[in-house]
C-alpha cells in the first residue's frame, strides 16, 4: 500500500525544496532544485523569474517521486516561500515579468513616506512599499497589473487557480488588523490617498486565510505540474518566517524564535498589536493570525566568526577548524571577558542607528586579558546585547517573554544556549528535532488543514504542542550569571553611545 502523508514545499531565495512526511510528520523523502537571480541588474536590485520557481518545483517533485518510487499518497499540501516579494500578474493570471525580491533595495523613499503618512511601520521590504515604487517608476507595468502576490502566493495560484494567501505572508504585503484578521481597511484608505492609484490596492491583493482554512485544492494544471492526482487540499500558502515558526512549534504568546547566524532574527509571538513605530521592530503574523514582532540584526555572528578563524589559524589549525579550538576557550572566559568589550558593526545596523559599517572593534585590551576566549566571548556578547536592545522595546510595551527557542549556528555548540539564557534572564530551549524548518513547517500546516477537514477543532497553538518530539534541551538562567551579565550589558550600552563618534573618526 502507498504510504500516506503530507507534502511541504518551500521556495527560498536560492532554490526550492520539497519534503514528504508520513502522517506523524517524519520526513521520508525530499527533492530540491536551484535557480538564479536575473543577471546584470544594478547594485541593490534583486529579481527572479516566477517561471524559474515553477520549473524548480517540477524538478524537485520529479526527484521526490523517483526517491519514493511513486509509492506515496499525499493527503494535503503546504507551501512556504520568501516573504515580501512583488509578483505581478495580468487579468488572466499571466506573469508580467521578473519579481522583485525581499532583498531588493529600490524603495527606501517609499518606506519613509508611507511610514510617516500611515503611522505604522512600513519597511522597504513590505510588498505594498514596492508597489508604490512600481506605480511611480513603471506606470506601464502597473497599468497591466490585476493581481499582486508573493512567491508563495504565485506557486499557490499555479497549483490551485486561486489568489489566496496565508495571513503571515499577507502581513508581509500589507498590515493586518488584529480585530478583523484581514488587511487593515483604514490603512488601505490612507495608502490609496498617498499612492493615488487607478486601481485600489485591495482589489489587487490576495484573499487572506488562516491556518486550517482552505488554500484551495490541487487543480488539473497543478496536478500535472506535481505529478499528483487532482483535488488534494492545500493549506494557505505562507511566508518563510511564519512557516519557520511553525517548524519550531512556536505558537503561544511570549515564545520567541531566536536564530543566530550571519544575521540574527528574533520573532516574538505577541498577545496584541504593537503600538507606534520602531526602527528596531518589524511586524507580521503567525499562521493563525497572532501578531509577531520581529527584531532583526544585520550584524550577527560574522564578527565573532572572523575572530574565531583568525585565532584558529594562529593557534596552528587550518581554516575552518577554528571553532573546535577556540569555542572551549570562550566557554571558560569570565562574564566580563576580563574587561574587554566589542562592537560588532561590520555592516550598518539601522535598528540601533548605526548608519555605516566598518566600525567593528575591541576595547579594553591589556596584557592580562588578551586571550582568544575573552576576545571571542566579547564579540558574541555584543551581538546578544544588540538583540536585547531591540527586545527591550517590546519589554517597554509589556509584551510577554517566556521562552527563547534557539536555532541557527549557535546550536552547534549547545552550551552557548546557557549564555543566551543568562544574558536574557529567560529559559532557552533547543529542539531535538533536526527536521524543523520551512519545508517541514509547510508539511505541518498541511497536516493541520487535513485534520480540520476531518472535523478536528484543536486550536493551532495546541496542535503545535502535540508535535514536540524527543527531549528538548532546556537551559535555565542562573541568578549569579544574570547579575554578572547585567553589569556588562549596562557598560555595553554606554559603549554603544560612543559609536557615532567612532564612525566619524574612522570615516570622515
Q: Model's pTM, two decimal places?
A: 0.90
Beta-carbon contacts of 165 under 8 Å, excluding residues fewer than 6 positions away, are 149, 150, 152, 153, 156, 173, 206, 207, 208, 209, 236, 237
Q: Read off the C-alpha cell for 113.
A: 513616506
Q: Is 194 helix (H, G, I), strand (E, B) or coil?
A: helix
CA distance 249 to 425: 22
Give the pLDDT of residue 434. Answer: 42
Neighbours of 42 (CB within 10 A): 7
CB 394 within 8 Å of CB 271: no
CA 422 to chain centre: 24
Q: Which residue has the cell 472535523?
A: 455
Q: Render each residue's pLDDT in the chain as its tens digit; 508 residues.
A: 899 999 999 999 999 999 999 999 999 999 999 999 999 999 999 999 999 999 999 999 999 999 999 999 999 999 999 999 999 999 999 999 999 999 999 999 999 999 999 999 999 999 999 999 999 999 999 999 999 999 999 999 999 999 999 999 999 999 999 999 999 999 999 999 999 988 999 999 999 999 999 999 999 999 999 999 999 999 999 999 999 999 889 999 999 999 888 889 999 999 999 999 999 999 999 999 999 999 999 999 999 999 998 887 777 655 556 788 889 999 999 999 999 999 999 998 988 888 888 889 999 999 999 999 999 999 999 999 999 999 999 999 999 999 999 877 778 888 999 999 999 999 999 876 544 478 999 999 999 999 999 998 899 999 998 987 767 889 999 999 999 999 999 999 999 999 999 988 988 7
Give the pLDDT of residue 435. Answer: 46
CB 172 within 8 Å of CB 216: no
Neighbours of 319 (CB within 10 A): 8
Smallest Cα–Cα separation from 206: which of 149, 264, 283, 290? 149
Check residue 235 and report its DSSP letter.
P
Q: What are the structural domain ranges in the chain?
A: 3-249+434-465, 299-388+478-507
CB 154 within 8 Å of CB 161: no
Give the pLDDT of residue 353. Answer: 87
Q: Does domain 3-249+434-465 have CATH number 3.30.420.40?
A: yes
Beta-carbon contacts of 124 under 8 Å, excluding residues fewer than 6 positions away, are 105, 107, 108, 110, 111, 130
Beta-carbon contacts of 309 under 8 Å, excluding residues fewer than 6 positions away, are 319, 320, 322
Q: Is 140 helix (H, G, I), strand (E, B) or coil?
A: helix
The β-bridge partners of 349 are 354
Amino acid at each position: 500500500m502507498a504510504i500516506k502523508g503530507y507534502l511541504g514545499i518551500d521556495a527560498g531565495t536560492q532554490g526550492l525544496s520539497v519534503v514528504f512526511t508520513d502522517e506523524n510528520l517524519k520526513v521520508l523523502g525530499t527533492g530540491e532544485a536551484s535557480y538564479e537571480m536575473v543577471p546584470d541588474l544594478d547594485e541593490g536590485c534583486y529579481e527572479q523569474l516566477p517561471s524559474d520557481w515553477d520549473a524548480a518545483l517540477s524538478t524537485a517533485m520529479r526527484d521526490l517521486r523517483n526517491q519514493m518510487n511513486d509509492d506515496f499518497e499525499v493527503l494535503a499540501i503546504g507551501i512556504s516561500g520568501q516573504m515580501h516579494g512583488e509578483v505581478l500578474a495580468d487579468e488572466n493570471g499571466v506573469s508580467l515579468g521578473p519579481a522583485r525580491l525581499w532583498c531588493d533595495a529600490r524603495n527606501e523613499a517609499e518606506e519613509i513616506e508611507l511610514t510617516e503618512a500611515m503611522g505604522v511601520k512600513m519597511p522597504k521590504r513590505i510588498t505594498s512599499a514596492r508597489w508604490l515604487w512600481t506605480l511611480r517608476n513603471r506606470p506601464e507595468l502597473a497599468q497591466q497589473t490585476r493581481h499582486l502576490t508573493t512567491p508563495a502566493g504565485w506557486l499557490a495560484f499555479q497549483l490551485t487557480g486561486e489568489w489566496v494567501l496565508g495571513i503571515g505572508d499577507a502581513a508581509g504585503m500589507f498590515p493586518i488588523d488584529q480585530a478583523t484578521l484581514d488587511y487593515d481597511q483604514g490603512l488601505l484608505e490612507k495608502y490609496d490617498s498617498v499612492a493615488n492609484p487607478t486601481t485600489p490596492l485591495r482589489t489587487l491583493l490576495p484573499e487572506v486565510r488562516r491556518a486550517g482554512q482552505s488554500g484551495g485544492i490541487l487543480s488539473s494544471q497543478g496536478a500535472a505540474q506535481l505529478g499528483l492526482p487532482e483535488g488534494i487540499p492545500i493549506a494557505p500558502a505562507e511566508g518563510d518566517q511564519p512557516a519557520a515558526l511553525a517548524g519550531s512549534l512556536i505558537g503561544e504568546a511570549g515564545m520567541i524564535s531566536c536564530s543566530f547566524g550571519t544575521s540574527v532574527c528574533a520573532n516574538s509571538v505577541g498577545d496584541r498589536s504593537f503600538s507606534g513605530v520602531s526602527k528596531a521592530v518589524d511586524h507580521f503574523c503567525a499562521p493563525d493570525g497572532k501578531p509577531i514582532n520581529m527584531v532583526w540584526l544585520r550584524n550577527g555572528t560574522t564578527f565573532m566568526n572572523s575572530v574565531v578563524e583568525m585565532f584558529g589559524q594562529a593557534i596552528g589549525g587550518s581554516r575552518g577548524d577554528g571553532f573546535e579550538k577556540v569555542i572551549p576557550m570562550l566557554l571558560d572566559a569570565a562574564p566580563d571577558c576580563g574587561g574587554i568589550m566589542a562592537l560588532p558593526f561590520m555592516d550598518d545596523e539601522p535598528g540601533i542607528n548605526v548608519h555605516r559599517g566598518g566600525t567593528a572593534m575591541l576595547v579594553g585590551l591589556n596584557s592580562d586579558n588578551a586571550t582568544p576566549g575573552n576576545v571571542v566571548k566579547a564579540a558574541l556578547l555584543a551581538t546578544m546585547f544588540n538583540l536585547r536592545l531591540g527586545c527591550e522595546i517590546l519589554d517597554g510595551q509589556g509584551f510577554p517573554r517566556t521562552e527563547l527557542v534557539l536555532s541557527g549556528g549557535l546550536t552547534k555548540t549547545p552550551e552557548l544556549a546557557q549564555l543566551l539564557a543568562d544574558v536574557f534572564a529567560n529559559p532557552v530551549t533547543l529542539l531535538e528535532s533536526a527536521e524543523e524548518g520551512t519545508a517541514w513547517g509547510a508539511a505541518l500546516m498541511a497536516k493541520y488543514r487535513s485534520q480540520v477537514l476531518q472535523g478536528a477543532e484543536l486550536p493551532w497553538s495546541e496542535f503545535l504542542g502535540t508535535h514536540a518530539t524527543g527531549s528538548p534541551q532546556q537551559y535555565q538562567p542562573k541568578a549569579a550569571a544574570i547579575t554578572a551579565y547585567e553589569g556588562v550589558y549596562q557598560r555595553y550600552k554606554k559603549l554603544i553611545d560612543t559609536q557615532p563618534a567612532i564612525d566619524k573618526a574612522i570615516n570622515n
